[in-house]
Amino acid sequence: MNILITGGTGFIGRALVSSLLKEGHKVTVLSRTPDTVNKIIGNEVTTLSNLNQLTSEHHFQVIINLAGAPIFDHHWSDARKQIIRDSRIQLTEQLISYIKAATVKPELLISGSAIGYYGNQGNKVLIESSSPASHDFSQRLCADWEATAQLASQFGVRVCLIRTGLVLAHDGGLLQRMLLPFKFGLGGILGDGQQWMSWIHKADWIAIAKLMISNTAMQGVYNATAPHPVTNSEFTKTLAQHLRRPALLPMPAWLLKILLGERSELLLASQRVLPERLLTENFHFQYPELLSALTEPRTNHE
């Protein structure tokens, strides 16, 4: 298949591109810095610097929309929030405009989202049909991003929205950020530790995306989370035991709020999310339990 990917140089995107290339797909990556794409991914991909380079004659069977400015790396000033929104929603609007004009429409749009869509819901079990409980910045961002992507269905395009949990793998993402302090015994629970962390291993996320491509019956919202979420306290204990290090430094909620401001909601909000639709369709998780994800072979990047 001919596949267009936005966000193809990111943590998930790099591994997804590599996996698709190995299966013989033709991959085009949209990037603001196309010169770096081949350095990061290799010379097998075609690059685009902006969607204006596409004409109505370009034909992609699949578009995978993962682009977005990092959400946690900088203070959430009003200007930064606008950058985060524009990098997701404006780009998705541009993709919809391309789809509308395309002579041959893509068959499938897979568009990113996150479990932040649900807001802070404590101990409540959340499935794809669950309603959001709050309307903070993260929730509004996810909801608006999904609504924009869903517009592609007006043009006969199958749309899959993938609400991603915390993505784990040894070569990047959340786990890489946490390993160093934990290795020095400086890890600890966040807040009261009772907030739920719904996570997924990167290899399972990629398998879900590829299943969406091959299974033409899949459409709508899917929770990309492992079937066994854990509390922050459980996550901390499991990671510390895996590393054979103590977890000595809890971080109280009030201090996180002082240090991170509004961003602290990303660490303190509780989302106990289950992948009900994937389980109904008998999707096989390679890493269903947290310990299996933490102990996966370091050579497994797909």
pLDDT tens string 41-94: 888 888 888 877 777 667 899 999 998 888 878 888 999 999 999 999 999 999
Domain with 122 in it: what CATH number?
3.40.50.720
CA distances from 180 to 50, 73, 191, 212 (A): 37, 17, 20, 35
Instruction: Tell me the three state secondary structure of residue 221.
Output: strand
pLDDT score at 32: 78
pLDDT tens string 16-27: 999 999 999 999
CA distances from 105 to 56, 64, 108, 202, 212 (A): 9, 14, 9, 29, 17
Would the pLDDT of 301 be above 60?
A: no
Domain for residue 117, yes or no?
Answer: yes
Whole-prediction pTM: 0.91
pLDDT tens string 107-120: 999 999 999 999 99
Domain of residue 165 covers 2-169+199-225+273-285
Number of structural domains, the chain? 1
Partner residues linked to 65 by β-bridges: 6, 111
pLDDT score at 186: 65
Give which of 148, 266, 271, 287 is closest to 207, Cα–Cα. 287
Domain for residue 104, yes or no?
Answer: yes
Instruction: Tell me the three state secondary structure of residue 278.
Output: helix
> What is the arithmetic mean of pLDDT over 3-7?
94
Domain for residue 247, yes or no?
Answer: no
Domain for residue 293, yes or no?
Answer: no
For residue 32, the tally of other CB atoms under 10 A from its CB is 10
Percentage of the chain exceeding pLDDT 70:
93
Domain for residue 299, yes or no?
Answer: no
Rounded to an integer, what distance in angstroms lies between the CA atom of residue 103 and that of residue 96?
13
Dihedral angle over CA of 95, 139, 237, 167, nearest 10: 0
Domain for residue 264, yes or no?
Answer: no
Domain for residue 296, yes or no?
Answer: no
Domain for residue 246, yes or no?
Answer: no
Would the pLDDT of 299 be above 60?
A: no
What is the bridge-based pairing of β-strands 220-224 and 62-65? unpaired
pLDDT score at 113: 95
